[in-house]
Structure 1
Amino acid sequence: MEKPNISIDLDAEDTLTDVDLKVKKNTFYGEKTKRRWTVTEVQGRNQIEEFYVLKEAVEVDAYAPIVYVYDHNKRQIADAKSRAGLIENVLHGPYKRLINDVIVEEGMYFHGVKHERWISLTRDQMLTDKEHYSKGWYRDSEITYYDAEKTKVKEVIPIQYGKKEGTYYYFYENGRVAVRGYYEFDKKVGVWTEYYNNTTRVIAKREIQFPPDPYQKHFRTYIRKESDRFANVLYESPKIK
């Protein structure tokens, strides 16, 4: 059998440019960022958050329930107050949270929303939680749209490890939230809220109380409250008084 030729031609032309060989510092998903951090005290322990923000202001996902930005004045990570226009100091890239120099939370951001794998650890480095995201939503979530171009989200059913788990959303075609609720182990739990399609303010139309946890088999679901589109209460269950 003829032996394969594994020799190296030292005179061969190098086709890989120097630019390709360099790892671009502070560049994530092709976009340039700046490194930032916060230092606080939590229960007598030193907490450090290390993260990156985009150098340029960007448009963010209008459907995202939370868009994380860095608030320079308060020196902390916060939810963006608006989804309209260009947003500055949007988190993008790796995130780490440390307690007394030990990592207790780690993940990635993409344009202000959680992306890829996120993990939580004890100070003894025992894994307590692991979640997978795709641009703000759980990776396996079932998402439907109003349009073929997939720009107008209609419904988000949160799926983790094959079960409905997390916050459910149904949107009006104009992007406003129509229904919000929570799933736990495939079951509706807590208060689910229906909203009016109001363009000036958020007004709840109806609040429905489901079991506080998925293990209460004999809980009877009931309507907590109903209001008109001017926020006048039409009905309130005696169970919440």
Structure 2
Amino acid sequence: MENLVSETLPDLGLKVKQFKKDQKDKSERKKKQRLARTEYEGIPIVEQYTKFGSGDRTIIEKFTVLKQYRQPNAYVRETYWFDPKAQRISSALIKDKEKVMIMHGPYKRYQNGILLEEGYYYVGAKDGRWEKYDANYKLLDKQKWDRGFPAESEITYYDSAHTKVKEVLPKEFGKVNGQYMAFYEGGQLAAEGKYDNGVKVGRWIEYYQFRRQRKKITQYGRDRWTEEFEPYVISEWDDKGKITYERPKEKEVTEDDQ
């Protein structure tokens, strides 16, 4: 009988330990929630929002920016920042760092209260998973970034410390796809263009090392499906900026020529 009684008694010690663990977990969750509003990836942030348009076309953007200015990665082609005076997000060249707020942390874009786009920034560069939706929250597009570069990109460097980028070969789902970039050892852009499933498409531009001076522009097909297209040079310049070649423009056909 004594054994039966002892087996039915609750283990108060275990319950106390579980209660303490639950309280600790709850406290940690609250701490993380507080930090999520004040920092991202360990860097202090400030919440911001913009609103423009009217009626059903009202657009609201909710996002966070760096509390203090930090220099974005010079190798990233598009750096995003918030202009507090104009109340707009921009990716234009930063001319006065004292008047801009670098995007950093979560971003959401709404129209008439419906979420249309969301993602994250890391010191001005797109980071992590970015998604776009329609009015019924149906996924329209998704991209994955790694601090400004397509997440699957193959990046080569000039140095073993991986501080000087040599080439960014964009990849998506194992295929060469997206914006390609090559750099000089000093960090200046040497060439850029786009790949469509391993095929060069559109205009590819080569640059001289300094002053971002153009060297050559080459035209490729519109997409990978464009058949029997021979790439051609549109323009070339010498290192003084003087044009040395310019492809003649095709003559427009008029009724008199027919």
Normalised by the size of structure 2, how large is the TM-score?
0.82
Flag the 1:80–1:239 CA change in 2: closer, same or farther, 3 A: closer
2:86 counterpart SS class: coil
The structure with the largest alpha-carbon Rg is 2
- 1:146 matched residue in structure 2: 158
Q: Which has the higher helix share?
A: 2
Tell whether the 8 Å contact from 2:56 to 2:111 is kept in structure 1 after alignment.
no
User: What is the aligned-residue identity percentage?
Assistant: 34
- 1:52 matched residue in structure 2: 64
221-230 vs 85-94, which moves further: 85-94
Structure 2 unaligned residues grouped into runs of 5+: 1-10, 252-258
Flag the 1:94–1:240 CA change in 2: closer, same or farther, 3 A: farther
Flag the 1:129–1:82 CA change in 2: closer, same or farther, 3 A: same
- Separation in 2 of the partners of 1:85 and 1:151? 23
The amino acid of 2:144's aligned partner reads H
The answer to whether the aligner puts 1:234 opposite 2:240 as a matched pair is no
Flag the 1:86–1:140 CA change in 2: closer, same or farther, 3 A: farther
- 2:133 matched residue in structure 1: 121
- 2:113 matched residue in structure 1: 101
Q: What is the RMSD of the two structures over their aligned residues, measured on CA atoms?
A: 2.8
Q: Please list the CA deviations of residues 123-143 of structure 1 after superposition, one character each: whole Å capped at 9, or x if unmatched.
A: 121111110111110110000
The match for 2:102 among 90, 110, 129 is: 90
Tell whether the 8 Å contact from 2:79 to 2:124 is kept in structure 1 after alignment.
yes
Deviation at 1:59, TM superposition (A): 2.2
- Separation in 2 of the partners of 1:115 and 1:73? 26
Aligned length: 235
- Separation in 1 of the partners of 2:250 and 2:85? 39
Deviation at 1:48, TM superposition (A): 0.9
Tell whether the 8 Å contact from 1:143 to 1:154 is kept in structure 2 after alignment.
yes
Structure 1 unaligned residues grouped into runs of 5+: none
- Separation in 1 of the partners of 2:19 and 2:86? 54
- Separation in 2 of the partners of 1:83 and 1:146? 29
Deviation at 1:13, TM superposition (A): 11
Flag the 1:194–1:69 CA change in 2: closer, same or farther, 3 A: same
Please identify runs of 4+ aligned residues in structure 1 that moved more than 6 A.
83-87
Flag the 1:42–1:187 CA change in 2: closer, same or farther, 3 A: farther
- 1:66 matched residue in structure 2: 78
The match for 1:8 among 14, 30, 50 is: 14
Normalised by the size of structure 1, how large is the TM-score?
0.88
Flag the 1:233–1:202 CA change in 2: closer, same or farther, 3 A: same
Flag the 1:234–1:29 CA change in 2: closer, same or farther, 3 A: same
Tell whether the 8 Å contact from 1:60 to 1:83 is kept in structure 2 after alignment.
no
The answer to whether the aligner puts 1:219 opposite 2:225 as a matched pair is no
Tell whether the 8 Å contact from 2:84 to 2:100 is kept in structure 1 after alignment.
no
